A = this chain, B = another copy of it.
Amino acid sequence: MENIYEEHAKVFKALCDEKRLRILELLRGGEKCACVLLEQLDLGQSGLSYHMKVLVESGIVESRQEGKWTHYKISEKGSAFACALLKDLTTQNTFTAEDNCCK
């Protein structure tokens, strides 16, 4: 974890793309096999694979192999982490002094 900003950015990058938001929406309905995602999205197989990788690496989605198939679902832990992080990043930090310069 050599750069904390990069780590944090990775979490939100998962949510920056329309296709990935569509995928998340589908996963909100429960765990889905890649084949279901494929037929509902306007995406080729390698494109889906790419987006799923981004989602899984962000921690927001988790995958599970079952024989030939891969199933994906929203990770409760990962999404709780993302929510907490977002709250953190946007909450006034009481320890830093006010210092807003010029006037």
Enumerate chain A interface residues (CB-CB to B < 8 A). 3, 5-6, 8-9, 12-13, 15-18, 21-22, 24-25, 28-33, 35-36, 60, 66, 69, 71, 74, 79, 82-83, 86-87, 89-93, 96-103
In the complex, residue of chain B having the shortest beta-carbon distance to the beta carbon of A74? B90
Q: Is B99 a contact partner of A69 (Cβ separation < 8 A)?
A: no
How many copies of this kind of chain does the complex include? 2
**Least Cβ distance of A99 to chain B in Å?**
7
Q: Is A102 a contact partner of B29 (Cβ separation < 8 A)?
A: no
Q: Is A8 a contact partner of B15 (Cβ separation < 8 A)?
A: yes
Residues of B near A87 (CB, < 8 A) are 79, 83
Residues of B near A92 (CB, < 8 A) are 28-30, 74
In the complex, residue of chain B having the shortest beta-carbon distance to the beta carbon of A32? B100
Residue from the list B18, B29, B60, B93 in contact with A5, Cβ < 8 A: B18
